Structure 1
Amino acid sequence: MEFLTSTFSTDDIWWLEAFIDDWFLVIALALFVVEMIRYAVKKKFTRNLLGDSVANFITLGAFILLVALVAAAYAGVFFYVYENFRLVDLPLTPWTILCCIVLADLAYYWEHRFLHKNGFAWATHTVHHSSPHFNISVAYRHGPLDWLFPLFFHLPLAVLGFNPFIIFLSEVIVQVYQTLLHTETVKKLPRPIEAIFNTPSHHRVHHATNKQYLDRNYAGIFIIWDRMFGTFAKEEEKVTYGIYPPVNSVNPIKIFFSGYVKLAKQLWHAPNWSYRMKLLVKPPIWAWQQEKANNR
């Protein structure tokens, strides 16, 4: 119990975040190789799978370059809010880190749900969902504005008094956990784990195009958020991955910008400004329903 109340320095938090970032990528790459070997053994390894996986890592590289350009400004907003608007001073202890991780996971749930319910946000998040495959590399398939939306949902944690270093660490931990969920190798885990935590089975549902699975299982670490807010679905029938209409390409540049290229075309051909505004703020299924009705 003494450890849980011990105080850390910001250097300790920075070191821990860098350690997780650096070593987890190595671990993820090793798991990816294992998955590819498994596909080869099961005679499911294809040129498209390889091309798609390579494209996923290239979009990661493009995303990292964008993050590098905005990182100082992104962090600066958190520190400005923390220094000027925090309600209390929370110490850097294991307890505050644990609390921040739980709250960051809740913030991620609502951010993730927003990404699926807003046309402008979906245009970046659709890149992550556009792969017809499901493996570790898909976790690294990013869109151009994936760095932007976490700001609005995690910034309240700085107001509550969590040091930005703890917030950034919590974001990394949630994302690292999410990475492990992108696999078909793990089927279902013991029921108590499936009841509380997000698992590969739950996340396969989230990536599905099956009608009964749409807009389900937004959770990061804890699937209890989906159970609490009515967005949970259990994996039952076989999952089909991807988006509609499919991208049908392994070109990383086309994949990376596909969401906003499609949105730009929709905005250009929209009949009026009211329709354009709805394309930006309404769920993507609204645009699909409008197109379907117009084509009858």
Structure 2
Amino acid sequence: MWDEEVIRNTSAAQDWTQVFVAVRWIQIVVSSVSVLGSSSIIVCVMSQRLRTAPELFPLLWLSLSDLFLSLFWLLGAAILNGCFWLRPIEQVLYLSSFCLTLNLVWSQFCCIRTQFTCSITGYTGQISNRVSCKGKMAALLCGVVPVLLMTPVFVQSERSRCQTNNTEPFRCLMMDTGAMFVTSQQPQPIRATAVYSSSALICCFLLTLAGITGLMVRSRTLLKRTVSCGGFVGHQQRALLRDMDRRMVLYPLVFFCCWGPAAVLALLRLISPSITQGWTGAALYITQSVTSGSQGWVNSLVYGSSRFRVHHRDVHTQTPLLRNQKRRGYDSLRSTA
């Protein structure tokens, strides 16, 4: 347990101590569940040797990002203070999660576009089951861009010794609790770093949300055209398209629900910091502690339900001979993966 003096010496109002204690336990529970959820996706994809499948490669990297982010949040809940370098690394990881979510939705859109092209042209040839060079480069950029965005935070924090602001209790909890009470009495570098971090979160969230919303609208248009076009669309292909359509809706919805409260709270810190010190800020902070840390777990539910529906459909719609042929083809695919 914590030392009584450490708990009481919070830099904000005394009432926030109970909020921070509640958030700490929420963070431990939610992050632990997300670790299990992200790990389940990684184990499932790797055990089936589908890491090179174009539609699962982005999901694998997103799950890795969610896994490391949850582990760092667990570490922050355990050490409570003295987390100077932990904070920028967490920021890199959740910005990477934003980029990888956009990359995942883009990958799903490309699969839908390929199905649309096949239905229009009547081409039924073999579709590549390997990740293209563009897909690998996109995944690499999703890790490089957040590092470049957070480089000024690393440099400025080291130069101005901002770690003195992270030695107070509860400053290692998720989403930068230290910035909740940045005031004009604090040094300019500390305030500038907090403003830059919040601005990066808001901008990346809005860009990602706009991108995945546009891709979702475009993909649903292509799906409707695919079903209504004059080309042949079989029963299995219709089921596949419905599954793609469901995922194209669920993944953006998961992103918005998980990171929306964090973006709203960061925006309020910039435009009206006094609001975040009242009950509104406390409610938003508790809400984001539940939602932001649960993306790995919710994504595992989406992926698991999708796999269950595919398996359930195959069992009830395929003959034993067709299932046996599909199993042999799947085994050969795994041997070449």
Normalised to the residue count of structure 1, the TM-score between the two structures is 0.29
**Structure with the higher helix share, 1 or 2:** 2
Q: Which has the larger radius of gyration?
A: 2
